[in-house]
Amino acid sequence: MEQPPRYIDASYPHRVCHLKKAIYGLKQAPRAWFHCFNTFLLSIGFSCSKLDSSLFVYSLANGILYLLLYVDDIVLTGSHQSLIGNLIEKLRDKFSIKDLGNLNYFLGLEVTPSATKIFLSQLKYARDILLHANLLDSKPITNPMVVSTYLTIVGSLFHSLSTYHFLVGALQFLTITRPDITHAVNSVSQFMYTIKDHHFRMVYCTMGFLVSLKKKLLERFPKWDSSLRRENNPRKNQKRPVSERMTYPKIHITPLNATFI
């Protein structure tokens, strides 16, 4: 790194400026933001998880707090509402934040709370995968894969590597809430570079299983059908102007107990 032309300091020609505050939009901005947020949380008693650097835990004798940071989105939960409220006030004193209330959607995960538990699903995410593959209204399949099928590298090559990579990668993320497709997804994930036609047919079999899951979930939660229809509104999906986009950290609050079904 060198001093810019016509701005060279004759007294210190080999020195450069040290940026004390990262400018929003630059490559180092996310790293600087995480370092700042991480330092603040550690200073007020949080500890960083050894398994996930974006998860912070605050443990006391009378309660516990969990904070998950993803870029500028924050998910906060705890055993007592008073602890959550106190932390939010501390965050407000340090950062410009906006409380978005109870958590209902985060990184493709839909959260439906009840009196005693939380139902987590990826219905909209699964629907988007089916829509991308033009399989939204296809015939449902009861099993995610044909058990007797043995995948090999023998056969004719599949024509579109990008389509295969997209669908398999999307299905891998879907296994967060659908462990019943894990074996099928793991099987097709072993052939990411030598892709044959029968590999893609296996992917389509798993997609057909998602169609049956979608129908079952909509029968159990009929209100989701109307919400999914609203997502198809072309005006709603238009890109917002830069001036309207959220640039502040956002906080979601959700109860402590969560159950995967």
How confident is the model over 1-39, as pLDDT tens digits? Answer: 677 777 788 888 888 777 666 666 666 777 888 888 889
Q: How confident is the model at residue 153 (pLDDT cuts 50, 70, 90)?
A: confident
Q: Is the pLDDT of residue 227 over 80?
A: no
CA–CA separation, 195 and 19 (whole Å): 48
**Is residue 171 left, alpha or beta, with left meaning phi > 0 and alpha meaning psi from -120 to 50?**
alpha
- SS3 category, 30: helix
pTM: 0.63
Q: Under a CB-based contact definition with an 8 Å cutoff, are residues 206 and 184 in contact?
A: yes
Give the separation between CA 164 and CA 193, rounded to whole angstroms.
Answer: 10
Question: How many CB atoms are located within 10 Å of the residue 177 CB?
Answer: 19
The rounded mean pLDDT for the chain is: 76
Q: Are 255 and 66 in contact (CB under 8 A)?
A: no
pLDDT in tens, 192-221: 888 888 888 888 888 888 887 766 655 555
DSSP track, 195-257: -BHHHHHHHHHHHHHHHHHHHHHHHH-THHHHHHHHHT-TTTTSPPPGGGS--S-EEEE--S-
- Residue 166, pLDDT > 70, answer yes
**What mean pLDDT do residues 152-169 have?**
85
Distance CA 172, CA 2 (A): 45
